[in-house]
């Protein structure tokens, strides 16, 4: 049994290494160019690239089947702020937290009222922020938090431009 275990792990490692090498060769089937020679792709020479010579990115972008996803590095949104001026004013509840008990109580109250929240941590200071369009619900939450001796403030939400 010890002989089998002694040879089994190196055999598995060799098999995995061979699989990885074969897999990498299949993926990169283009012939390697010698060091210092210019690449033989048609784009750099100014001639169109044949269908068989296209790179993997061009093949994926030309296919009709969109079962693949490209990595997303940056997303830019343009919002129409002129139409948003007539909408309701948003409010922000900010609660500076002193200990874990305050965080626990606040999370329980927010779960009851189904408010989304996020924590902002700067060094040792933590602040829990809640954004909502309904000021009266936020004010009622402030009064409920006073029973736990938690200080909170409601202010109009001003978005940065």
Measured from the Cβ of residue 92, the count of other Cβ atoms closer than 10 Å reads 15
pLDDT at 42: 47
User: Is 40 within a domain?
Assistant: no
Measured from the Cβ of residue 78, the count of other Cβ atoms closer than 10 Å reads 5
User: Is 134 within a domain?
Assistant: yes
d(CA 110, CA 158): 22
Give the CATH number of the domain where residue 113 resides.
Answer: 3.30.70.120
**Is the pLDDT score of 120 beyond 80?**
yes
Structure confidence by residue, pLDDT tens digits, 77-92: 887 766 555 556 788 9
User: Is 45 within a domain?
Assistant: no
User: Is 57 within a domain?
Assistant: no
Interior CA angle at 117 toward 112 and 123, to 5°?
130
User: Is 41 within a domain?
Assistant: no
User: Is 49 within a domain?
Assistant: no
Query: Three-class SS of residue 121?
Result: strand
Structure confidence by residue, pLDDT tens digits, 47-58: 555 555 667 777
d(CA 50, CA 3): 54
User: Is 137 within a domain?
Assistant: yes
How many domains does one find in the chain?
1
User: Is 131 within a domain?
Assistant: yes
Domain of residue 147 covers 91-156
- Residue, of 79 and 44, whose pLDDT is higher: 79
* Half-sphere exposure in the Cβ direction for 130 (13 Å, CA): 24
């Amino acid at each position: 049994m010890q002989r089998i275990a002694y040879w089994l792990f190196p055999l598995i490692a060799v098999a995995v290494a061979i699989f990885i090498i074969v897999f990498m060769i299949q993926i990169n089937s283009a012939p390697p160019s010698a060091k210092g020679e210019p690449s033989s792709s048609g784009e750099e020479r100014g001639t169109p690239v044949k269908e068989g010579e296209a790179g993997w990115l061009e093949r994926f972008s030309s296919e009709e089947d969109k079962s693949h996803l490209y990595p997303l590095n940056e997303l830019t949104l343009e919002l129409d702020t002129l139409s948003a001026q007539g909408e309701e004013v948003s409010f922000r509840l900010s609660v500076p937290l002193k200990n874990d008990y305050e965080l626990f109580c606040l999370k329980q109250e927010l779960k009851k009222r189904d408010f989304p929240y996020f924590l902002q941590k700067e060094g040792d200071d933590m602040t829990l922020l809640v954004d909502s369009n309904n000021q009266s619900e936020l004010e009622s939450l402030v009064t409920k938090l006073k029973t736990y001796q938690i200080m909170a403030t409601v202010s109009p939400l001003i978005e940065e431009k």
